[in-house]
């Protein structure tokens, strides 16, 4: 069993992917070739955002978004510590301060009720993360941001394809960033990412920043980066889009099988809550449990791979701890020791999921019968 099965996915789309790659090899426009604009048009249409700008990675997308907003030294940006490091990295790379707000224990997304108390005159933006593929509480976050004149950037690296109250992730706030890292729900075969906005001025700034701040050839109107996504990677995403809706259905099927086997169990294994007004693309299917190391070892012994997203919250990371010494995120601290992600993906069979759940629940009962009885 694979944690994320990229080989089966390639076999399912082999002809489409090979054909798209061959077309790029034939025309030879490896940088800013026709597939780049074609992908941007497809993704903008998919999300409903007016503009899509592809960039070198999801990390680059976050950096370009903050640069387009003019965020820099002396500014503060509010985000969650319960995320991949790139979310905070982009903020501090620009000399701004990352201010951490704790998460909702049921979804692991930023708790919108805790944002307002962290806003100061220096706050410029909020970066919620749509973790594990489930959109954050975007309406509540947008409302508090609007009251204080702040920009909102959805870190949708894990949630492309999810919907929220009838709208698509990546079109839920002023700016959104996604990633095409191979293991994300919509991945390429290297690095890639994209920005989304419906603001024409911001879109122009992002396009210029992506190519060294050029407004015309060798005219640099702003400070930029070398941040393009190459044509071959755009071609791979274009090919994968053909099967993407089917793959999302398969992800829903796999998650529903997990839910049926795990919700309401008496073994102390609690799946992350998916709220009724949104869908998740299940970049991860994650559970909360006690005795994680022991249960991971028990699953590994029967060749079931698991992963932890993420074992140390950012305000506890060696390079970041001094940046927001006042950060108080007890829920993040507690859950970092208890979350575990199970094998997930469109090509995972219901039989495999039954094996995972039976092994997990058996190990959980063995590991801590007393704790399990208590947490029911």
- Which contacts (CB < 8 Å, 24+ apart) does range 7-14 have? 8/347, 9/240, 9/247, 9/345, 9/346, 9/347, 12/243, 12/347, 13/239, 13/240, 13/242, 13/243
Chosen residue from 133, 135, 187, 193 binding ligand PLP by CB under 6 A: 193
Which value, to the nearest 10 degrees, does the dihedral of the CA atoms of residues 31, 37, 39, 45 take? 160
C-alpha to C-alpha distance for 186 and 361, rounded to whole angstroms: 30
What phi, psi does 298 have (nearest 5°)?
Answer: -65, -40
Using the rule CB under 6 A, give the single segment among 18-26, 42-50, 151-159, 343-351 that binds ligand PLP: 151-159
State which of residues 107, 169, 179, 265 lies at the interface with ligand PLP (CB under 6 A). Answer: 179
Could you tell me the smallest distance in angstroms from the CB atom of residue 192 to ligand PLP?
7
Give the x-and-dash track for 47-66 against ligand PLP (CB under 6 A). Answer: ----------xxx-------
Distance (Å) of CA 215 to CA 36, 54, 68, 208: 18, 17, 14, 6
Q: Which is nearer to ligand PLP, 84 or 285 (CB)?
A: 84
Q: How far is the CB of 194 from ligand PLP (least distance, A)?
A: 10
Residue with Cβ nearer ligand PLP (151 or 367)? 151
Measured from the CB atom, is 82 or 258 closer to ligand PLP?
Answer: 82
Nearest-approach distance from CB 53 to ligand PLP, in angstroms: 14
Which of residues 86 and 203 has its CB atom nearest to ligand PLP in the complex? 86
CB 135 within 8 A of CB 172: yes
Out of 71, 101, 119, 129, point to the residue binding ligand PLP (CB under 6 A): 129
Task: Indicate whether 155 belongs to the interface with ligand PLP (CB under 6 A).
Answer: yes
The dihedral over CA atoms of 287, 117, 195, 243, expressed in degrees to the nearest 10, equals 20
Q: What is the DSSP letter of 278?
A: B
* Binding residues vs ligand PLP (CB under 6 A): 57-59, 83-84, 86-87, 129, 155, 157-158, 179, 181, 191, 193
């Amino acid at each position: 069993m694979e944690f994320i099965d990229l080989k089966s996915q390639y076999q399912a789309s082999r002809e489409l992917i090979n054909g798209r790659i061959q077309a790029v090899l034939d025309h030879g426009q490896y940088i800013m070739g026709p597939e780049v604009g074609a992908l941007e048009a497809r993704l903008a249409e998919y999300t409903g955002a007016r503009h899509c700008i592809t960039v070198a990675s999801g990390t680059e997308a976050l950096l370009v978004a903050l640069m387009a907003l003019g965020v820099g030294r002396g500014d503060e940006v509010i985000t969650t510590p319960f995320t991949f490091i790139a979310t905070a990295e982009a903020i501090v790379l620009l000399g701004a301060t990352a201010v951490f707000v704790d998460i909702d224990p049921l979804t692991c997304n930023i708790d919108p009720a805790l944002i307002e108390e962290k806003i100061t005159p220096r706050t410029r933006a909020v970066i919620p993360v749509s973790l594990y593929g489930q959109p954050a509480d975007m309406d509540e976050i947008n409302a508090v941001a609007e009251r204080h004149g702040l920009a909102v950037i959805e870190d949708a690296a894990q949630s492309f394809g999810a919907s929220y109250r009838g709208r698509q992730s990546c079109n839920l706030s002023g700016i959104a960033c996604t990633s095409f890292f191979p293991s994300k729900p919509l991945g390429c075969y290297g690095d890639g990412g994209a920005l989304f906005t419906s603001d024409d001025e911001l879109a122009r700034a992002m396009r210029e920043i992506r190519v060294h701040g050029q407004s015309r050839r060798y005219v640099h109107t702003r400070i930029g980066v070398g941040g393009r996504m190459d044509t071959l990677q755009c071609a791979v995403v274009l090919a994968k889009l053909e099967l993407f809706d089917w793959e999302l259905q398969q992800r829903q099927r796999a998650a529903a099988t997990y839910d049926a086997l795990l919700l309401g169990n008496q073994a102390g294994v609690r799946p992350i809550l998916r709220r009724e007004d949104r869908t998740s693309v299940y970049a991860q299917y994650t559970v909360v449990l006690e005795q994680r190391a022991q249960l991971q070892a028990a699953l590994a012994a029967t060749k079931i791979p698991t992963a932890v997203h993420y074992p140390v919250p950012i305000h506890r990371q060696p390079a970041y701890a001094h940046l927001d010494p006042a950060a108080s995120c007890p829920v993040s601290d507690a859950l970092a020791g208890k979350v575990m992600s199970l094998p997930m993906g469109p090509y995972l069979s219901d039989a495999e999921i039954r094996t995972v759940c039976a092994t997990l629940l058996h190990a959980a009962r063995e590991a801590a019968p007393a704790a399990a009885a208590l947490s029911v």
